[in-house]
Amino acid sequence: MAKRILILASGTGSLAAAILQSIQDRELDLEVARVISDRPAPVLDLVKKFGVASTLIEYSKFESRAAWSAQMENVVASDKVDLVVSVGFMRILPASFIEKFSIINIHPALLPFFPGAHAIRDALLAGATESGTTVHWMDSGVDTGKVISQIKVQVEVGDTEESLHERIKIQERNLIVETLKRYAHVGLEK
C-alpha cells in the first residue's frame, strides 16, 4: 500500500503541483491525504485540479499562535499520514507540531548556507557564485535539520532574485520528486 503524505504550502504551489503531477503520471507511488495552506493562496485552487483535498487554516484568523497550531495538529493527526512535506510553507511551525510528525522541508539554498526566509537575496548579497536547493528533515531550528538531498545551481552574472529563484525552482521540482521516490521505495534515513 502506498505511503500517505500531507503537503504544506503557502504560495503559487509549483512544487506541490510537481508532486501531484508525478503521482498522477504514476511515476511516484504515494497517496496525498491533503494540502494545507496558512493563507488564501493560489496553491489551494491548483491542487483541486488534481482532485486532492485542500484546507485553509488561516493564521490571521486565529486568536493566538497556539490556537492555530492546535488546529493544524488536529487536522494533520486526523489524516494519519506517514510524512508531512513542506514545500514553500512560509510560517515557522511550533515545536509541538514538529515533535509530533515526521516532516521534510525544501529550502532554496545549499544548506547550511543561507537559511531563513530570504535565502535567494542573501546568496546574491553575499556574492555567492553558486547556490541551489536542499531537502532536509525539519527540526526546531530554522533550516537546521539533517540534510537529505541537494542540487547545486550556478549564480549567473546579472542574476536578480527572480531569475535565480526561477532557475532554482526548476531544480527544486526535480529534487522534491526524486527525494519522494526514494522515500516511497526505500524510505529516508533520519
Active site residues: 107
11 vs 94 by CB, closer to ligand GAR: 11
12 vs 71 by CB, closer to ligand GAR: 12
16 vs 52 by CB, closer to ligand GAR: 16
Q: What are the angstrom distances between the C-alpha of 155 and each of 120, 121, 185?
A: 10, 12, 33
88 vs 145 by CB, closer to ligand GAR: 88
Q: How far is the CB of 45 from ligand GAR (least distance, A)?
A: 13
Residues at the site binding ligand GAR, with contacts judged by CB under 6 A = 11-16, 87-88, 106-108, 117, 169, 172
Q: How far is the CB of 101 from ligand GAR (least distance, A)?
A: 17
* Burial (Cβ within 10 Å: 0-12, 13-18, ≥19) of residue 21: middle
Amino acid at 183: Y
- If we measure between CA atoms, which residue out of 190, 24, 6, 11 comes closest to residue 85? 6
Secondary structure element (H or E) that encloses residue 137, with its range: strand 130-137
Q: Which residue is nearest to ligand GAR (CB)?
A: 88
Q: How far is the CB of 10 from ligand GAR (least distance, A)?
A: 7
Q: How far is the CB of 88 from ligand GAR (least distance, A)?
A: 3
* Burial (Cβ within 10 Å: 0-12, 13-18, ≥19) of residue 92: middle
How would you label 44-71 residue by residue, b for 16+ Cβ within 10 Å and e otherwise? bebbeebebebbebebeebeeeeebbeb
Give the separation between CA 98 and CA 122, rounded to whole angstroms. 26
